[in-house]
Amino acid sequence: MKPFDLQKAIDNHPLCTRDGRDVIDYRHWELIKIFEVLIKNRDGSYELLSLPENGRVYNGENESRSDLFLKSKKKKKLFIAIKREKEINTHETSYAHEEKRTLDFPDKSWQIVEVEIDV
């Protein structure tokens, strides 16, 4: 996730909340300086919020699960072939939380790891 940017949001950049829920639709009310968003909750229900132009529920230092962020774009990357005989595989462990697919060579001594990363 990247910090909320009003101009990018107006230019149709995908949005999400701090806790990862998708923003389905939004409207900027320039005259009254309000950003209205429709959020899809994980249980399938929807939530309509009116936020200030900074995309934050609270205007102070307090954080909210509904604060807006620019949604990161996912890109697949292939990482350098790695010898399997080594126990520690920094590329794999660094992205353990990401979905990954491995492509094995016939002799099993090398593999290429493909991961999705935020760009």
Same structural domain, 82 and 29: no
Instruction: For residues 55 and 83, state if they share a domain.
Output: no
Structural domain boundaries, residue 78: 74-118
Distance CA 115, CA 77 (A): 6
Domains of the chain: total: 2
Give φ, ψ of 65 to 5 degrees.
-65, -20
pLDDT digits (tens, 9 = 90+) for 45-63: 999 999 999 999 986 678 9
35 plus 64 within the same structural domain:
yes
| pLDDT tens track for 15-33 | 999 999 999 999 999 999 9
Q: Tell whether 108 and 62 lie within a shared domain.
A: no
Same domain, 47 and 60: yes
User: What's the pTM value of the predicted model, to 2 decimals?
Assistant: 0.60
Do 31 and 78 belong together in one domain? no
Phi-psi category of 108—alpha, beta or left, where left has phi over 0 and alpha has psi -120 to 50?
left
Q: Kindly report the backbone phi and psi dihedral angles of residue 15, in degrees, each rounded to the nearest multiple of 5, phi listed first.
A: -120, 155
Same domain, 62 and 37: yes
